[in-house]
Chains A and B, each alone.
Chain A
Amino acid sequence: MNWKFGDNINTDLITPGRYNITTDPRELAKACFIEYRPEFRRQVQPGDFVAAGHNFGCGSSRETAAVALKHSRLQAVIAKSFARIFFRNAINLGLLCIIGDTDSIEESDRLELNIPAQVLRNLTRDQTIPIEIPPMMLRLYREGGIINFLKKNGLSALADLEKF
């Protein structure tokens, strides 16, 4: 399913400061939207999407928000726009974040993401939603995050990021 959210979903709503006193990703996933959308952590299924409005992930720099979403095994987060630090954290972790208009998406719609073609299809409504996946996001998603990329290619590979 698609978990719909509005604008300015901040990191305190994703992983509230009182619940994220751990470095265990599974524990963090259990805290995901714990107060704002309590059923999320129990009902989220591998392959689900989060579909949000503008400025998703604003607020704190705490990487727990991106970690919790990644370990909820979402297919991707789709939003009209993302806050800067959250987006950077998502790039680094390999959490796929896609920029697109989410207005027409309903929670029960069947979505099909074609990454090579950079196309999101809403099969329920027979619509194609134009999306944007910045090249660095896509590359590091495929690498499994920046740490895996640097482990494989060495720290000097930081200089290669701009070539993506």
Chain B
Amino acid sequence: MPQTLAEKIFSNHCGRAVRAGDFILADLDLVMAHDTTCAWALEPFHQIAERVFDPKKIFIPFDHAFPSPSVAMSKLQNQIRKFADEQGIPVVYDGVCHQVMSERLINPGNLILGADSHSPTGGGLGALTIGVGSTDAAIAMATGKSWFRVPQTIRVTVSGDLPNGCYSKDVVLAVARVMGPGGANYRVIEYAGPTVEGFNVPARLTLTNMSAEMGAKAAVVAPDDQTRAYLEENDRLVDFEPLRSDPEASFERELCFDVSDLKPMIACPPDIDNDVPVEQVEREKIAVDQVFIGSCTNCRIEDLEVVHRMWKGKRVKEGLRAIVTPASRRVYLQALQRGYVEEFVNFGAVVSSPGCGPCLGRSGGVLYDDEVCVSTSNRNFEGRMGSPTAKIYLASPATAAASALTGIITDPRSHVV
């Protein structure tokens, strides 16, 4: 029976060959719940179990509001910390869950449950990493298992050399424009083709991350030499079997994108499929109040390298707030070692501690009424980053960096060094 990559991973975790549509109870390699979702998992967990199935297979990072900005949040974090201590699970304060998991924990072929909607991110390493809510996380922490309907796969094939000023973020915004916010609901998106093969894992993580915004259950890139190189860079000597969709595998839908003529893209508020070329928005001369470079979508060292080249020796546009939040402790250390942090501070930006930062509007850069933010994150919903009347534009780190230079939403192509 020819199988998709996703069907193979599900098969390997339930002990029989399955195909899309099958209902399965699968064994999980890892369960993640963070400082927000873990709090809601505690009560259902205590109703059904006393001990977790395996403390080594549970990951509890504090990232959504860390360091805690309020007594209410500290209360939730205190409850989680007590639970983690009782169960022998270390609480990790090292940055955004998906980034830290990619650096340290996710291996090709894994099946992982994360109590966070952006869990598909880890699929950039060739794993199935699936987002759920807190009750599912509680059951998984108790049993090591979760139920699934094996999903259909949509294959997105990307070809062509990316033009100057375009990055994987621009590619995935172009995909989102076609797919829409529900276009991949209940499906796995498999990214393939020469452009994706050429992307390193950090660039792939941006594709898989944004797939959550199209409703995808998971997103995946077949593991290859790029994956191997990424694991080695992160001091992980993991060997893995070749894993890819069979040539005769059945895809529900196939989409092809030639990105040779792509232009830098921007998702205008309040929907992810409201994507247009940045040059079109630039003509409107929209004044920007805040630029946020961060989140699980785009704040790896490769992203900061682009920003650093554009900002080196310059000053932020007067009056604009620029916030850089490295995705993880590792990224932060890399930025320090390379001298980026000093350059960013001289530029006039605020460099905050690793974590989700202002992406979810809880702390560290909450927007006021009618303010405009250019963000490298993944959600431009009404009220996401603060006031419901604030406007969030989503773009690549290059577009965000260019906009911090000029003070208006700016096509990065004339600023990219």
Residues of A near any B CB (own CB < 8 A): 8, 10, 12-13, 16-18, 21-23, 35-36, 54-55, 58-64, 66-67, 81, 83-85, 88-89, 92-93, 145-147, 150-151, 155, 158-159, 161-162
Contact = CB atoms under 8 A, between A and B. Distances in A.
Contact of A61 (B23, B70, B117, B383): B117
A126 B25 CA distance: 43
Interface stretch (B128-136, B163-171, B260-268, B345-353): B128-136
Contacts of A63: 37, 40, 133-135
Interface stretch (B139-147, B153-161, B202-210, B244-252): B139-147
Contacts of A55: 181-182, 185, 215
A159 B39 CA distance: 26
Interface of B: 23-25, 36-37, 39-40, 42-44, 47-49, 65, 70, 72-73, 76, 79, 115-117, 119, 131-136, 138-139, 142-143, 145, 147, 181-182, 185-186, 215, 217, 271, 360-362, 366, 379, 381-384, 386, 388
Contact of A36 (B73, B138, B382): B382
B70 A21 contact: yes
A100 B129 CA distance: 30
B310 to A, nearest CB: 30
B182 A8 contact: yes
A81 B184 CA distance: 13
B37 A147 contact: no
A18 B359 CA distance: 12
B256 to A, nearest CB: 25
Nearest to B362: A17
A146 B139 contact: yes
Given A17-B360, A151-B48, 4 more contacts: A61-B115, A84-B185, A84-B215, A85-B117
A88 B133 contact: yes
Closest 9 CB pairs of A and B: A55-B182, A89-B133, A63-B133, A92-B135, A162-B23, A61-B117, A21-B72, A63-B134, A12-B381
Contacts of A159: 25
Contact of B25 (A17, A64, A158): A158
A149 to B, nearest CB: 10
A58 B384 CA distance: 13
Given A84-B217, A93-B135, A18 B181 contact: no
Contacts of B366: 18
Contacts of A17: 360-362, 384
Nearest to B36: A62
A59 B42 CA distance: 22
Nearest to A54: B182
14 contacts: A17-B384, A21-B73, A58-B182, A59-B379, A61-B116, A61-B132, A63-B134, A64-B40, A83-B215, A85-B131, A85-B132, A147-B135, A150-B48, A161-B147
Contact of B72 (A10, A22, A89): A22
Nearest to B186: A84
A147 B48 contact: yes
Contacts of A145: 135
A54 B271 CA distance: 14
Nearest to B115: A61
A95 B215 CA distance: 20
Contacts of A89: 132-136
Contacts of B133: 61-63, 66, 85, 88-89, 92
Nearest to B214: A58
A66 B388 CA distance: 21
Which of A58, A66, A158 counts the most chain B CB atoms within 10 A?
A58
B359 to A, nearest CB: 9
Nearest to B22: A162
Given A55-B185, A83-B182, A158-B147, A10 B47 contact: no
A146 B366 CA distance: 36
A23 B25 contact: no
A13 B72 CA distance: 21
A83 B361 CA distance: 22
Contacts of B383: 12-13, 16, 18, 35-36
A60 B382 contact: no
Nearest to A66: B133
A78 to B, nearest CB: 17
Contacts of A92: 133, 135-136
B181 A8 contact: yes
Contact of B388 (A36, A60, A85, A151): A36
B115 to A, nearest CB: 6
A146 to B, nearest CB: 6
Which of A23, A61, A66, A89 counts the most chain B CB atoms within 10 A?
A61
B39 A23 contact: yes
B384 A12 contact: yes
Contacts of A13: 381-383
A114 B126 CA distance: 45
Given A8-B181, A84-B217, A88-B133, A60 B117 contact: yes
A162 B361 contact: no
A93 B360 CA distance: 24
Nearest to B217: A84
A123 B400 CA distance: 53
Contacts of B48: 147, 150-151, 155
A18 B361 contact: yes
A139 B212 CA distance: 28
